[in-house]
Amino acid sequence: MPTLDDCSVEGSLVDKLNKYGFVFIVPPPSAVKALKSARFKGEDFFSQDTPSKISLVGGMRGTRQYGYGVGGDVQFLESRFRRVYNPGVGHGDGCVSALGSTFDEEIGECKRVLDEIGRAVLGRIEEELGVPEGSITGMVDFGGYVRGEYMEDEGVVKSIKGEEEGGDVSNSVLRMAHYTGKSSPKALFGSHTDTTFLTMIPSSSPPGLEVYSPYMNSWVRPEAWGSLGVVVMGGELTTVLSGGAVGSAAHRVWGTEGIARTSTPLLLRHRDLE
């Protein structure tokens, strides 16, 4: 199993991504706690009735910090992160008071942990490919929320604008997904690759994520091998920038009848440059 304890790398990370479709990273206990806390916050949100969820965060069409949507047996809470802190602008588009005073902070801490893992993985990819430092990481939109304060991502020239003044939000998104478990066992989210640099998914329960391994010529369930880690998969943007040296992971989510599942994947996307 391609395990990278404490985000360290043994052997070639690129080879692991290409063979298995993923690497499984075990972060420190404090980081694991932050990842679990965010998932619990997501479960609290999804436990509410649909009108309440929509009234809290609105739909997916805007570029607000939060958005809620439904697709078949899957519900989504999309969380984007404002890049520039503005004390005069409300945090979370009204979610804080309704979902608890620490909602934004705990979701943001999850994002921070995954950002750090993403930077480490992409930095190692640059090193292994022999390309200049920052040639890939410098194109990623890491802008976001750090330990209760918004931070400005250095070097960002432009980004999509939020609906509110000062609501400058990132292209990268923490997309919580809640699988209801109401259907018979089936692929609830069909096989696909992501238009990302990396897709990072903290372990959830029950195991449902399946990643195609070219080396094993089969679908594997990385979450079944560890409940305290993060599954990291290569995305299409890294494949293009690396000239095909890093593959894009084909993955899907398989549902378990009668058992709900909530996951908190981070999709690392591009920064907008002028």
Q: Which residues have a Cβ under 8 Å from the Cβ of 261 and sit 6 or more positions away?
A: 178, 179, 181, 204, 205, 206, 208, 253, 255
**Mean pLDDT, residues 254-270:** 86
Domain 3-268 has CATH 3.40.50.300: no
What pLDDT digit, counting tens, does each position of 101-116 carry? 677 778 888 888 998 8
Q: What is the three-class DSSP state of 156?
A: coil
Task: Place 274 in a pLDDT band, splitting at 50, 70 and 90.
Answer: low
pLDDT value at position 14? 95
pLDDT at residue number 245 = 97
Q: In angstroms, rounded to a whole number, what is the distance separating the alpha carbons of residues 138 and 119?
A: 10
Average model confidence (pLDDT) across the chain: 78
* CA atoms lying within 13 Å on the CB side of residue 132: 4
Q: Is the peptide bond before 265 cis (omega within 30 degrees of 0)?
A: no
Backbone phi and psi for residue 67, each to the nearest 5 degrees, phi listed first: -155, 145
| Residue 147 burial (C-beta neighbours within 10 Å; 0-12, 13-18, 19+) | exposed
Q: Tell me the CB-side half-sphere exposure of residue 55, using CA atoms within 13 A.
A: 7
Say if residues 202 and 266 touch (Cβ distance below 8 Å): no
Cβ neighbours for 151, distance < 8 A, ≥ 6 positions apart: 83, 85, 143, 144, 145
Cα(22)–Cα(2) distance, rounded to whole angstroms?
A: 8
The structure's pTM equals 0.83
Q: What pLDDT does residue 213 have?
A: 95
Tell me the pLDDT tens digit for each residue of 192-223.
999 999 999 998 877 789 999 999 999 999 88
Q: List the domain boundaries for the chain.
A: 3-268
Cβ-in-10-Å burial (0-12, 13-18, 19+) of 131 comes to middle
Q: Answer whether residue 185 shows pLDDT above 70.
A: no
Higher-confidence residue of 150 and 120: namely 120
Distance of alpha carbon 169 from alpha carbon 192, whole angstroms = 26
Query: Strand, coil or helix: what is 116?
Result: helix
- Indicate the length of the chain as a whole number: 274
- Angstrom distance (rounded) from CA 184 to CA 255: 8
Confidence of residue 70 (pLDDT cuts 50, 70, 90): confident
| CA 76/CA 92 separation, integer angstroms | 16
CA distance 169 to 203: 26
Residue 47: Cβ within 10 Å count: 12
